[in-house]
Amino acid sequence: MGLIRVENLRKVYRVDQEKIVALNRINLTVASGEVCCILGTSGSGKSTLLNIMAGLEKPSKGRVMIDDVEVTALSEKDLALFRQKNIGFVFQSYNLMPTLSAIENVAMPLMFRGISKDRRTREAVKMLRAVRLGNRLLHRPTQMSGGQQQRVGIARAFVAHPKIIFADEPTGNLDTKTTREVMEIMVGMAREYHETLILVTHDQDIARYADRIVTIVDGNIQSDHTNESVFPAQREKVQELTTVSGGKTE
């Protein structure tokens, strides 16, 4: 059984009289611990898929099950609690709180959970060290480079050790060198903590970091295959995981 099960998902936007089909009929199962890339061009529906999986948007038809909870049926309040416990986010534009320090930004998901300040600061410092920002603990986002900000974002996504981390074009605003750095950290952490990472991108190069690449074209899954080009160092792990998770279609 997969951790995430997307069943017959369909999303239609209505713009005036016109219907725009963003997602046609998506079926997808993602196993626990998988690093899965959803690859597609702009307008392919990949972001819509991510948003629906994360419970930020409601589908027109179909449903999303995460850990046997029907996410698409939850109320807004329950969704907030569900995200609090199970989901981490990495955004393209980082979305850090401009008025908070790196520590405070990273500790925020823990604060929402009601964890004491001492404990969450400790956790946040640990995460920031893990993303190699041990010397930027008290800096504000504006005092950091894009790559550093995104690393804070990654630390924030991982700090509460959620089951799933969604990353929507996490390197969209970064240069090539920083992109590599950030991707390595993010994928590395996902593997280290055995967390499921759903990566949405239009960039083939980034897709190479994933164990599995699902390509979406015009709201349909065009291809879904294990990544052959995963860097050799990660290769074994991926196969191991693939074997464990078992069911990969193609």
Partner 1 sequence: MKWTDMIAMSLSSLFKRKVRTLLTVAGVVIGTCAIVVMLSFGIGIKKTTDETMQSMGDLTVIQIENYNSSPDAEPLNDAMLERIRALPGVQTLTPMFDADFSAFQIRSGKYVYGGSVTGVYMDALSEFGYEVEEGKLPEGTVEEGAVLFGRDALYNFYNSKKNNNNMIYPEPDATGKIPDPYVNPMKDKLELVLQKTDENNKKTVKPVKLKALGILAQDWSKSPSPGYSVFMDVKYVRALTEQYNKLNNIKVDKSKKFQYSSVVVKALDIKSVEPVQDAIKALGFQTYSMDSMRESMEAQTRTIQMILGGLGAISLLVAALGITNTMIMSIYERTREIGVMKVLGCVIGNIRTMFLIEAGMIGFIGGVAGIAISYLLSFLLNTLAANGGGVMGLGGAGGQISIIPAWLALGALVFSTMVGLVSGFSPANRAVKISALTAIRQE
Binding residues for partner 1 (CB under 8 A)? 51, 54, 56-57, 76-77, 80-85, 87, 89, 91, 93, 95, 97-100, 108-109, 111-114, 116-117, 156
Look at the alpha carbons of 94, 97, 98, 102 in this order and tell me if their dihedral is positive or negative: negative
Q: Which of residues 21 and 115 has its CB atom nearest to partner 1 in the complex?
A: 115
Torsion sign across C-alpha atoms 48, 50, 53, 55: negative
Pure H helices in 67-203 = 76-86, 102-112, 117-130, 146-159, 176-192
Nearer to partner 1, 151 or 156 (CB): 156
Cβ at position 150, least distance to partner 1 in Å:
14
* CA dist., res. 10 & res. 26, Å (int): 7
What is the rounded CA–CA span in Å between residue 211 and residue 230? 7
C-alpha–C-alpha distance, residues 94 and 80, integer Å: 20
- For residues 95 and 220, which CB has a smaller minimum distance to partner 1 in the complex? 95
Q: Return the number of the residue (62 or 172) whose C-beta is nearest partner 1.
A: 172
Q: How far is the CB of 173 from partner 1 (least distance, A)?
A: 11
| Pick 98 or 247: Cβ nearer partner 1 | 98
Rounded to a whole number of angstroms, the minimum distance from the CB of residue 57 to partner 1 is: 6
The least CB distance from residue 106 to partner 1, in Å, is 11
Cα–Cα distance for residue pair 132/152, rounded to 1 Å: 10
Q: How far is the CB of 86 from partner 1 (least distance, A)?
A: 9
Beta bridge partners of 35: 197
